[in-house]
Structure 1
């Protein structure tokens, strides 16, 4: 395992140190956290560990506003975060990856849909952790896993019904889970985390076993 940091000077005045783990895999996992849920938080931290344990290459993308501890306005600053995330990603695409697995949480699910447009020549898989209403303004047609809590107030019933009907999305609901996939009971929250990670790991392993499509060189 070769772990290094991909640096990027952010418009928020900080230098991002994005973790990049190389394991000679032909699959790259791109992890994109939520607005108030960084890569150091439990779901993102264990997602990185699981992807690494399975033997995949992993890129954890941070956001400038998070590292600088500044506010974020999705209406005026989303394009900046998406562009910086793209710049980090492009620094890691020097080798011939055949498959890209996006794993985003909340805000990250919106960003992964944007980044998906730039990677049309790669086989893609998307994992949406606690998607929000805005996620479905630009939904991907690639194979997807969506994990959401039944008590998550960041997604409305219309969009929940929409993803339930989409054939390319495997939807899993965590009973009583809020937007952080937690609840008021600490031990039950740990159980939710355990369940989420098991589902995530099983899905990634299933995807890993599938034959990969040939990468198109342009």
Structure 2
């Protein structure tokens, strides 16, 4: 059985981050932290089915439902400052919610813009233990995300459609040289 803990973390006066922690009533060794896209929430199909799959396999889940894009202060920042804001939102939620909980294994599942704070955590390693990465439609045109994936020593799955705006075949080919990354390119029909 699982219990649902829905709340929010206030990082500062400009950033309040809602979350949902789906936690087993018995001690659990694994968690999946889910980082959605801007307009693709944790309530939509990819995250819904992933949540069910992880729960069925005895993994706790933490949905971080950040809403930075609605902040007037966030949109005024430059790109680097926005990336830092996103990462600090995620890091703060993980730090406060999981403060008294130790997981032996952590899955980090991100989609689209969620791959930016994920890439930053891959470099910083401030809150994950024994991670496994699931990168859904990663922002491969962003050097931060691409370089992090290319250099990772963390087992990862990278899934992207060949019609996605961030899909670059050349970069996928380069990523395939890293034996710790499994890439899945989904061919999408061209609609005319």
Please give the TM-score of this superposition, normalised by the length of structure 1: 0.72
Deviations 1:7-50 (A, max 9, x none): 21255846432000111320110000112322222212222222
Q: How far apart, in 2, do the equivalents of 1:38 and 1:124 lie?
A: 22
- Where is the strand percentage greater, Structure 1 or Structure 2? 2
**Superposition deviation, residue 138 in structure 1:** 2.3
- Where is the helix percentage greater, Structure 1 or Structure 2? 1
Q: How far apart, in 2, do the equivalents of 1:51 and 1:16 lie?
A: 23
Gaps of 5+ in 2: none
Within 5 A, what are the aligned runs for 1:106-125? 106-116=112-122, 117-119=124-126, 122-125=129-132
Please give the TM-score of this superposition, normalised by the length of structure 2: 0.81
Alpha-carbon contact 1:147-1:171 (below 8 Å) kept: yes
Q: How far apart, in 2, do the equivalents of 1:165 and 1:96 lie?
A: 33
Q: How far apart, in 2, do the equivalents of 1:95 and 1:39 lie?
A: 22
Match of 2:48 in 1: 45
Match of 2:106 in 1: 100
Match of 1:146 in 2: 158
Alpha-carbon contact 1:99-1:122 (below 8 Å) kept: yes
Change (3 A) 1:8 1:159: same
Q: How far apart, in 2, do the equivalents of 1:141 and 1:45 lie?
A: 28
Deviations 1:172-192 (A, max 9, x none): 121217xxxxx86xxxxxxxx
Change (3 A) 1:147 1:121: closer
Within 5 A, what are the aligned runs for 1:11-30? 13=14, 15-23=16-24, 24-30=27-33
1:4 corresponds to 2:11: no
How many residues in Structure 1 have an aligned counterpart in Structure 2? 178
**Superposition deviation, residue 152 in structure 1:** 1.4
Match of 2:87 in 1: 82
Q: CA RMSD in A?
A: 2.5
Deviations 1:147-202 (A, max 9, x none): 1112112132221111122100111121217xxxxx86xxxxxxxxxxxxxxxxxx
